[in-house]
Structure 1
């Protein structure tokens, strides 16, 4: 059962990201993994429950390891009640943790450590972030929150860049805004897009390898 849930999670995630929630049908998910549509309905009552399952599992790994009754029906079980609030709380905790070293001017916190943590902020919740990005019409409240969250994350990275420049740990650049933009886009590419929605995806690359490549590029580009 766990293996089938994993297959549904992966197939539905990619379809919701690349095709969109509105245009994806349960039969599309079934076709992707070689199951009958009826088999999918043995696990979930509908497409909305699959989306909720993905978002819940993305911010609460292991959620579906627990025993539960199938098919999952959110309205009856209440397992997805307050899901949007849970997602926001998870993202806020992520951002608060990343903010910690700004309070002490990044003392004993190297550029490499900052980039590593920034990568994790993006990569750990790649699926939920990409689904929100690609399905704004279906998730308007989350999309509105996510836009603000991204702006705050960008501002945090830029503050770190400014600090490292002052400490001569980051090479001098003409415009820290655009440099930060390049850093965040690189982190997002290797942390999210390369595995899910790049023109040519690398589905076999592990998050660890993607992180290694990304940090190597950024450190060679910017470390003083």
Structure 2
């Protein structure tokens, strides 16, 4: 990824989270990056492709290193929504695994570390979906189910650690 692509993605992420996807215009992104609108269109077909690029890099960080033909088009993101849903499902299954196996040597400290790792890895994508749920209803539906599953799993972990007397009951 070029420095400019990275700058565009960072500025767009900030704007999408702060003011929402639908209220963000290419001109806002260009101003935040300090380039012309035409420069943005040299790198991306449009705002949707920037958003897709951000989501793809969130679920697959190595994608940012891929040399893409510019302007970056949606041809690079076919099936992205299904990929995001699969990542959510897979991460939920990995997070539940120690609980389903009866905890064993799994510690409360490891749980906290795993929860923070999971949140830090996918925070941008999850926040984006949550903040822009009306613009992306398919992703919002699956994200809400994932969030509910994550919180339910966390609750079960806490019950198990209380029973184990690893943590005190609140």
Sort the TM-score into its range (normalised by shorter chain): over 0.9
Q: Which residue of 2 aligns with 1:8?
A: 8
Per the normalisation by structure 1, the TM-score is 0.74
Quote how far apart the aligned CAs of 1:104 are.
2.4
Measure, in 1, the Cα distance between the counterparts of 2:120 and 2:41: 30
Measure, in 2, the Cα distance between the counterparts of 1:168 and 1:98: 21
Quote how far apart the aligned CAs of 1:6 are.
1.2
Q: Which residue of 1 aligns with 2:123?
A: 126
- 1:97 aligned onto 2:73: no
Per the normalisation by structure 2, the TM-score is 0.96
1:83-162 to 2 correspondences below 5 Å: 83-162=80-159
Alpha-carbon displacement from aligned partner over 1:192-215 (angstroms, at most 9, x marks no partner): xxxxxxxxxxxxxxxxxxxxxxxx
Quote how far apart the aligned CAs of 1:106 are.
1.2
Alpha-carbon displacement from aligned partner over 1:131-184 (angstroms, at most 9, x marks no partner): 1011111100110111111010001101110010011101122xxxxxxxxxxx
Structure 2, unmatched stretches of 5+, are: none
Q: Which residue of 2 aligns with 1:17?
A: 17
The total of aligned residue pairs comes to: 170
Q: Tell me which stretches of 4 or more aligned residues in structure 1 moved more than 2 Å.
A: none
Q: Which has the higher contact order (CA 8 A, sep 6+)?
A: 2
- 1:46 aligned onto 2:46: yes
Q: Which residue of 2 aligns with 1:61?
A: 61
Measure, in 2, the Cα distance between the counterparts of 1:127 and 1:55: 8
The DSSP-based 3-state class of the residue aligned with 1:125 is: helix
Measure, in 1, the Cα distance between the counterparts of 2:158 and 2:99: 11
Measure, in 1, the Cα distance between the counterparts of 2:101 and 2:60: 30
Measure, in 2, the Cα distance between the counterparts of 1:13 and 1:69: 21
Quote how far apart the aligned CAs of 1:102 are.
0.8
